[in-house]
């Protein structure tokens, strides 16, 4: 199918947008994922027509048939990235091409059509342009963008659907944690794994999240903040949290993060590895067992551990518990290198520091 690289977006401005006063009130303390902007992007796909009907329109419910494939077989993928207001008032994105590429990778794994990179980037630009007044001005604020795609064919047969919706919604976000990130406690899941070899662990699909909810509830029931998953084959190697990658920092100043394969290839993970290496820090992508983690934390060889992802950026890990482990990391609070790397990355994202890798894409 010869699909155009991008499409003209028909822009239909909201006839009755949220008032200036109400919007100002909402974005003063937006929290995360609770409030939404006035518009949304909708693009349709069919095997016959390819990508077509690109629209920016008033945000609202969409009508789908009860036999819509996504409701039965979960053929769905998504992305998450942020638009930032720069010190000069311009608006920028952080590595959006990486999100576009990962979205295409996820699409291939879920047997869905790829959204061409140009169309993906244009859809992001279009919604940010329509809703730029929703970017919070509060310290640490951003406009969280959620591109997603789902199978919309009306058919109960099990096969890749022939029709899809690609959409983007936007949600103003405050600083994920007010007053800096507090250290979280992790629960090691005994009963469940997030992904297995050959599975969908490297794809950003809703199904992975559905499977993580029960173990996450068990973590909460155990008094922990987040679940940490071990590999499915040996139940030994640390993989990641339900929605964040993990890093370990050792007494010799080196860092380690689990290798790609069954984990989600985080853009924050990749960016932090690059920033650490820029600073002369040795970073290994190697398997790390839960037993080694415990031994190193207890001996003091491990100094810090943290989780990372777009939403919360960097979150220190203070303690790890499970049926056979219970240990603290460092003094149980945020580590020095963890805080430094977080500050470095945030400063680049917000245009407050030089951008040696050309990660920041100015929109307008």
Distance CA 52, CA 136 (A): 32
Q: Site residues (CB under 6 A) for ligand PLP?
A: 80, 204, 240, 243-245, 264, 266-269, 309-310
Cβ nearer to ligand PLP, comparing 80 with 141: 80
Q: How far is the CB of 309 from ligand PLP (least distance, A)?
A: 3
For residue 5, the number of C-alpha atoms closer than 13 Å in the C-beta half-sphere is 3
Count the neighbouring beta carbons within 10 Å of the beta carbon of residue 4.
13
Q: Are 42 and 52 in contact (CB under 8 A)?
A: no
Closer Cβ to ligand PLP, 41 or 267, answer by number: 267
Q: Which tokens go with 291?
A: 């037993």
Question: Cα–Cα distance between 208 and 224 in angstroms, integer?
Answer: 21
Is the Cβ of residue 185 or residue 226 nearer to ligand PLP in the bound state? 226
Shortest spacing between CB 57 and ligand PLP, in angstroms = 27
Shorter beta-carbon distance to ligand PLP: residue 44 or 146: 146
Taking the C-alpha atoms of residue 282 and residue 19, their distance in angstroms, rounded to an integer, is 51
How is residue 98 written in tokens? Answer: 């990486």
Residue 35 or 260 having the CB closest to ligand PLP: 260
Nearest approach, Cβ of residue 151 and ligand PLP (Å) = 19
The CA-atom distances, in angstroms, between 163 and each of 72, 156, 166, 204, 361 are 15, 13, 10, 20, 31
Minimum CB distance to ligand PLP, residue 102 (Å): 7
Q: Nearest approach, Cβ of 239 to ligand PLP (angstroms)?
A: 9
């Amino acid at each position: 199918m010869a699909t155009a690289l991008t499409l003209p977006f028909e822009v239909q401005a909201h006839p009755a947008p949220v008032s200036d006063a109400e919007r100002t009130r909402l974005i003063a303390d937006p929290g995360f994922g609770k409030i939404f902007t006035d518009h949304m992007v909708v693009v349709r796909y069919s095997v016959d027509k390819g990508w077509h009907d690109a629209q920016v329109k008033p945000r609202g419910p969409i009508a789908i048939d009860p036999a819509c494939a996504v409701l039965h077989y979960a053929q769905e993928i998504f992305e998450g990235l942020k638009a930032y207001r720069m010190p000069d008032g311009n608006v920028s994105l952080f590595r959006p091409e990486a999100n576009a590429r990962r979205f295409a990778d996820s699409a291939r794994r879920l047997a869905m059509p790829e959204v061409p990179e140009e169309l993906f980037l244009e859809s992001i630009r279009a919604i940010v342009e329509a809703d730029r007044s929703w970017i919070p001005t509060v310290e640490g604020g951003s406009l969280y963008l959620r591109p997603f795609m789902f199978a919309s064919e009306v058919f109960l047969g099990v096969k890749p659907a022939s029709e899809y919706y690609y959409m983007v919604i936007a949600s103003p976000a405050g600083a994920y944690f007010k007053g800096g990130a507090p250290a979280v406690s992790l629960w090691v899941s005994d009963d469940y794994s997030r992904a297995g070899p050959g599975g969908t662990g490297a794809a950003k699909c809703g199904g992975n999240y559905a499977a993580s909810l029960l173990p996450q509830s068990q973590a909460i029931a155990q008094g922990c903040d987040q679940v940490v998953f071990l590999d499915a084959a040996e139940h030994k190697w640390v993989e990641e949290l339900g929605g964040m990658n993990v890093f370990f920092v050792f007494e010799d100043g080196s860092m380690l993060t689990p290798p790609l394969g069954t984990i989600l290839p985080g853009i924050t993970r990749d960016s932090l590895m690059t920033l650490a290496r820029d600073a002369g820090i040795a970073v290994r992508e190697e398997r790390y067992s839960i037993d080694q983690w415990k031994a190193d934390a207890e001996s003091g060889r491990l100094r810090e551990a943290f989780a990372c992802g777009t939403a919360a950026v960097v979150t220190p890990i203070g303690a790890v518990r499970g049926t056979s482990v219970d240990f603290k990391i460092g003094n149980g609070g945020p580590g020095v290198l963890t805080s430094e790397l977080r500050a470095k990355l945030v400063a680049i994202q917000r245009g407050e520091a030089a951008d040696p890798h050309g990660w920041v894409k100015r929109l307008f």
